[in-house]
Amino acid sequence: EAGVAQSPRYKIIEKRQSVAFWCNPISGHATLYWYQQILGQGPKLLIQFQNNGVVDDSQLPKDRFSAERLKGVDSTLKIQPAKLEDSAVYLCASREHTGGQSYNEQFFGPGTRLTVL
């Protein structure tokens, strides 16, 4: 079974430029997450999708970050304009959706390392 795919793996941009990241989750996984991992810290959730709807975007800096999952499969995360403090690894994860109290494993992609100069 293919894992979570992300591209690009690395990106270097100047501040105030824009950048976009792409994620393809595991087939059949309805839930998709974007995390930001700053060097020396644990991942922090930016946004969670259930199919093509947003479940939680409370920690997404909406003045510069946006994300979409139009067909409920692939997702893109965009930053415009980028700031120096956006330098981080952006991780995508996906999970099967089940009801009730079950708690399914999140599977993570390899991440995109963004450097803002």
Residue 116: CB minimum distance to other proteins, A = 19
Rounded CA gap, 106 and 19, in Å? 25
Please answer whether residues 109 and 6 qualify as being in contact, where contact means their C-beta atoms are separated by less than 8 angstroms: yes
Of 81 and 107, CB closest to other proteins: 107
102 Cβ contact list (under 8 Å, min separation 6) = none
| Position 100 contacts other proteins (CB under 8 A) | no
CA count, 13 A, side-chain hemisphere, 111: 14
| Position 75 contacts other proteins (CB under 8 A) | no
Rounded CA gap, 39 and 29, in Å? 28
| Position 53 contacts other proteins (CB under 8 A) | no
| SS3 call for 32 | strand
Binding segment for other proteins among 12-20, 63-71, 79-87, 98-106 (CB under 8 A)? 98-106
Binding segment for other proteins among 11-19, 21-29, 75-83, 103-111 (CB under 8 A)? 103-111
Of 13 and 30, CB closest to other proteins: 30
12-51: contacts with other proteins (CB under 8 A): 31, 33, 40-45, 48
| Position 110 contacts other proteins (CB under 8 A) | yes
| SS3 call for 67 | strand
